[in-house]
Amino acid sequence: MAPHTEQLTRPTAVRLRGLTRSFEGRTVLDGLDLDIPAGQFVALLGHSGSGKSTLLRAVAGLDHEVAGSGRLTAPERVSVVFQDSRLLPWRRVLDNVLLGTGGEERGRAALAEVGLAGRERAWPGELSGGEAQRAALARSLVREPELLLADEPFGALDALTRIKMHALLRELWERHRPSVLLVTHDVDEAIVLADRVLVLDAGRVGLDLAIDRPHPRSYRDPLLSEYRERLLAALGVTEVH
């Protein structure tokens, strides 16, 4: 195959058709359809309770009920990062990263990639919140995921650390090119990081917006404000100045 053809035909990493999920009679996902091409960085916005985590859990294969409701295709190697690092406190950082995988060298390299070289023998309790999330990212990387699912991974961090983590995540994505589905409440985080932002509304993808700006992106780029306005409108939020 000629190189340019290869670039044009991106296989689909995630394909969802007609996904439906209800809890106690309340429909959260309502026949949701979504395709994510391999290597695409997608952010998912939506009001609290709109079903973002439910969707992420479904794609991660953690919800058997939703899987039977429609058609769901996802890659084999999937890593999930949550708001809390979920490091095991009784294992040192390197051992957490290596959990279930071999290759100490790979673990050390992953820690170096997230800026934690030298902290391999630290206990999770000795890490700051941001460092713990870096370790969680290293743990997900070491599995060389084809798909990275992230549920509010920076939601518990202070604003400055969050900005640093945005740069790190984007840098890691550029190096490894997994498909990413990032759940966030933060419209700016979505716009700065993702190439495509979805708004979940009434159990389906309400808005599907391509963010066509080069990287690295600045939070203050005036050209991003148009995307912000559209996303806030889709979320039904009026900005107060």
Ligand X SMILES: Nc1ncnc2c1ncn2[C@@H]1O[C@H](COP(=O)(O)OP(=O)(O)OP(=O)(O)O)[C@@H](O)[C@H]1O
Contact between 124 and ligand X by CB under 6 A: the answer reads no
Among 40, 53, 85, 184, binds ligand X (CB under 6 A): 53
How far, in Å, CA of 161 to CA of 148, rounded? Answer: 21
Size of the site for ligand X (CB under 6 A): 10
Contact between 54 and ligand X by CB under 6 A: the answer reads yes
Contact between 49 and ligand X by CB under 6 A: the answer reads yes
Site for ligand X in 18-47 (CB under 6 A): 23, 28, 46
Contact between 69 and ligand X by CB under 6 A: the answer reads no
Among 19, 43, 45, 52, binds ligand X (CB under 6 A): 52
Contact between 66 and ligand X by CB under 6 A: the answer reads no
Q: How far is the CB of 39 from ligand X (least distance, A)?
A: 25
Among 5, 7, 9, 48, binds ligand X (CB under 6 A): 48
How far, in Å, CA of 63 to CA of 56, rounded? Answer: 9
Instruction: Give the footprint of ligand X on this chain (CB under 6 A).
Output: 23, 28, 46, 48-54
